Structure 1
Amino acid sequence: MALARLGRNDHRLALSAADCTTLEPLATAWLARGITVDYLTTALTAGLPAHIDSPAGLLHRRLTDKIPPHIPRATEDRSPDTKEPTHEALLVECTNCRRPGPPQALPDGLCRPCHHAHTTGSNDTTAPTTEEIATVKAHIANLRNLLKPA
């Protein structure tokens, strides 16, 4: 069905029923790899030439050459004995001092010391000094200069 819609999205990719039948196994291979129909459509229509002599030939080539790698599903990653899905250890950073920790240790995005300082209104001991601010500004200015065209 996604192949038949390509001609509606771009008249240069109009396919016959026979063309759709021929290309269907290739498109099905993409979908079997966990690709969505929208992603498939975008991959097939991105960067089209101005003139297309053979829409079926072009799409066959793209379906063959641009097929994405197989992405294992979550059930394939687990051993048969595992009942719960396995998760890699996830660490997040405190939004104030950038201290890493597990998500449950950083309620509202703040570590315990920063959360305490924020709720009690005490002075923030992790605030940058004037020298640190000047160093960051100089570094950013240098990066901007490097990005300027020569």
Structure 2
Amino acid sequence: MEPLAAQWFARGVDADYLTHALTSGLPAQVDSPIGFVRRRLNDKIPPGLPTTRTPATPGTPVRRLMVECTECGTPGPSGALPDGLCRPCRTPALGQAPTAPADPPVARDIHALVGTLRDLMKTP
């Protein structure tokens, strides 16, 4: 089984990952521990890492990650939206004072709210 484990390590797996892969989801009873481990080493082996990067063929579009501003929804590259906000949403407009942070949410009686919801579900 050592050669099988060596294949895992050759694919960039560390000992903790290998241990987790072999021990997660254990059945209630294992009749043959050696057979069980051998089967898991063969069945759960991770895919091999590419040895060389394949060059992109000319004309293939380059994929870039686009994100949206969390306030106004303006799309843009991830580098242009630090903290998820575009420049107009990050900086206040000229002549306006910066907005104060919102008040913390009001504490609710969760037990009373859940009780009310249960009562509403019982009524036809």
Q: TM-score range by the shorter chain?
A: 0.5 to 0.7
- From 66, 70, 76, the equivalent of 2:44 is 66
**Are 1:45 and 2:23 matched, yes or no?**
yes
SS in 1 for 2:91: helix
- From 56, 62, 69, the equivalent of 2:34 is 56
Using structure 2 for the length normalisation, give the TM-score.
Answer: 0.58
Q: Larger Cα Rg: Structure 1 or Structure 2?
A: 2
> What is the RMSD computed on CA atoms of the aligned residues?
2.9
**Are 1:94 and 2:69 matched, yes or no?**
yes
Pairs aligned (count): 92
> What is the deviation of 1:99?
2.2
Deviations 1:12-42 (A, max 9, x none): xxxxxxxxxxx11111111222222222111
Deviations 1:102-130 (A, max 9, x none): 1332234311221234784479xxxxxxx
- From 71, 74, 77, the equivalent of 2:53 is 77
What is the letter of the counterpart of residue 84 of structure 2? G
What is the letter of the counterpart of residue 58 of structure 1? F
More helix by share: 1
The match for 2:111 is none
The 1:94–1:24 alpha-carbon spacing in structure 2 relative to 1, beyond 3 Å, is same
Structure 2 unpaired stretches of 5+: 56-61, 100-124
> What is the deviation of 1:44?
0.6
Using structure 1 for the length normalisation, give the TM-score.
Answer: 0.49
Within a 5 Å distance, the mapping from 1:2-17 to structure 2 comes to: none
